[in-house]
Structure 1
Amino acid sequence: MTRLNRLIPQNIKAIIFDMDGTLCLPQPWMFPAMRQAIGLHDKSIDILQFIEDLPTLEEKLLAEKRIHDVEVKAMEEMKPQPGLVELMKYLTLNNYSKNICTRNILPPVNNLIKKFLPTEWSNFDYILTRDFRPTKPNPDPLLHIAKLLNLEPQQLIMVGDSFDDMKSGHSAGCFTILLKNHVNGHLLSEHKELIDVAVDYLNEIIPLLQGDEAVAESLAISSA
């Protein structure tokens, strides 16, 4: 667990989770497979923006079908993050609002909830998919959830594993938590200003919400 900028405020009321790589384990093959499927070889171009910029409706629909096929395969191979159930139980029992903001489509989200979460911990107040535009890294979807919950952005936490998640959360004014993995470590050096705390497992968020001073003192890296 790594402290970067600040500790979790005590007025937090809601948590927003990314899905791919956050609620479920990363599938590093998925995004390269999407790019290959639609012929996008420039890594600097966003996949959804590439599809939106295609000249004809026919080309857009074909590209959407091709990435959908990749997403279906990923859904079938999905595995939950360690600590997922423990964290969802804690948030439910302590009356935190649970929400999801993903650039994926709804069926994989529903699959994850149904397959890996006991019914009593599986309620999410709002789920925004890529049907909501603009998507992450824009702050708009998080601000929309805050408005629906009648909360200030400062009362929300954005938990994710990517630049898009951290940029969206920081820009919206939310507290940001990076879930570290073997491919996103560069964010801690290249985009440190976007990240408030980084954790190795989802259930490490629990003592932070509890204001555990021992955990806070054990955090390794300051923002200095």
Structure 2
Amino acid sequence: MTKILPTSFKGIRAVVFDMDGTLCLPQPWMFPAMRESVGLTDKSMDILTFIEKAPSSLEREQALQRIEAVEAKAMREMIPQPGLVPLMKYLSLKNLSKNVLTRNLLPPVTHLITSYIPIEYRHFDHIITREFKPPKPSPEPLLHIAGLLSLAPDQIMMVGDSYDDMKSGRQAGCVTVLLRNPANSPMLDHGEHSSLIDVAVDDLSEIISLID
């Protein structure tokens, strides 16, 4: 566990999780495959923005179908993140709100919850998918969740594995926790990126000691 900024976790009342690479292990092939499926070669452009700019509604629909096919394959190959069940048990027993904020669709989230989390710990208050506009890295989805929960943003912990997760959390005023992996570790050495991160952990179960 690496603490970046001097943040208190005692007031946390809710945790919001990214899904891909956070609740389940990273699937590094998935996002390149999605971009390839819609013909997006500009690495600086967001894939959802690219699809929204398609010339016609038919082309947008076809592009969405292509990325959904990639997501369906990823769902079938999904592996839960280490520490997932102990953390879900802890949050449930402590009556802390569990939520998901993802740029994915609802079926993969539902698949992960029903396949890998025991039934007594499966309740999530809110699951926000890419149908919410604007998506991460905008702070709006997190502010929306805060409003639904009647909580201040600083009572919410955003847990994710990407720049978009950390930027969304920081701009919303939430506590930010990076789930570290080999691909995202360089963020900790990048001044602009590291300033978005309060704590970096290597296993979801480490979050228990942060809150407890």
SS in 2 for 1:194: coil
Q: Which residue of 2 aligns with 1:87?
A: 87
1:23 equivalent in alignment to 2:23: yes
Q: What is the rounded CA distance, in whole Å, between the counterparts of 1:13 and 1:78 in structure 2?
A: 29
Q: Distance in 1 between matches of 2:141 and 2:6?
A: 24
- SS where residue 35 of structure 2 aligns? helix
Match in the other structure for 1:144: 144
Post-superposition Cα deviations, 1:121-147, rounded to whole Å, max 9, x if no partner, equal 110000000000000000000000000
Report the counterpart of residue 217 of structure 1 in structure 2: none
Q: Which runs of 4+ in 1 moved over 3 A?
A: none
For residue 9 of structure 1, report the CA deviation from its aligned partner: 2.8
Q: Is the 8 A contact 1:160 1:179 kept in 2?
A: yes
Deviations 1:170-198 (A, max 9, x none): 00000000000111012112201000000
Deviates more, 1:23-32 or 1:6-15: 6-15
1:200 to 181, 188, 202: 202
Q: How many angstroms apart in 1 are the aligned matches of 2:181 and 2:23?
A: 13
User: Where does residue 76 of structure 2 map in the other structure?
Assistant: 76
Whole-angstrom CA distance in 2 between matches of 1:149 and 1:110:
21
Question: Deviation of residue 8 (structure 1)?
Answer: 3.4
2:9, 2:208 → 1: CA distance?
13
Deviation at 1:6, TM superposition (A): 2.0
Tell me the distance in 1 between the aligned counterparts of 2:53 and 2:86.
Answer: 42
Q: How does 1:160-175 map to 2 (within 5 A)?
A: 160-175=160-175
Query: Which residue of 1 is the match for residue 101 of structure 2?
Result: 101
Are 2:71 and 1:65 aligned?
no
How many residues in Structure 1 have an aligned counterpart in Structure 2?
Answer: 210
Deviations 1:140-177 (A, max 9, x none): 00000000000000100000000000000000000000
Aligned partners of 1:7 and 1:208 also within 8 Å: no
State, as a whole percentage, how many aligned pairs show the same letter: 60
For the aligned residue pairs, the C-alpha RMSD in angstroms reads 0.6
Equivalent position of 2:135 in the other structure: 135
Which ranges of structure 1 fall in alignment gaps of 5 or more residues?
Answer: 211-224
CA contact 1:160–1:166 (8 Å) conserved in 2: yes
TM-score w.r.t. structure 2 length? 0.98
3-state DSSP of counterpart to 1:141? helix
Query: Does 1:36 pair with 2:19?
Result: no
TM-score normalised by length of structure 1: 0.93
Q: What's 1:215 paired with?
A: none
Q: Over residues 72-122 of structure 1, what are the superposed CA-to-partner deviations in whole Å (9 max), with x where a residue is unaligned?
A: 000000000000000000000001000000000000000000000000011
Q: Find the residue that maps to 1:99 and give its secondary structure.
A: strand
Output the amino acid matched with 2:197: I
CA distance in 2, matches of 1:199, 1:12: 17
> Are 2:189 and 1:189 aligned?
yes
The AA in structure 2 aligned to 1:13 is R
Instruction: Indicate the residue corresponding to 1:47 in structure 2.
Output: 47
Please, which runs of 5 or more residues in structure 2 have no aligned partner? none
Q: Distance in 2 between matches of 1:66 and 1:12?
A: 39
User: In 1, distance between residues paired with 2:169 and 2:78?
Assistant: 25
Which residue of the partner structure matches residue 214 of structure 1?
none
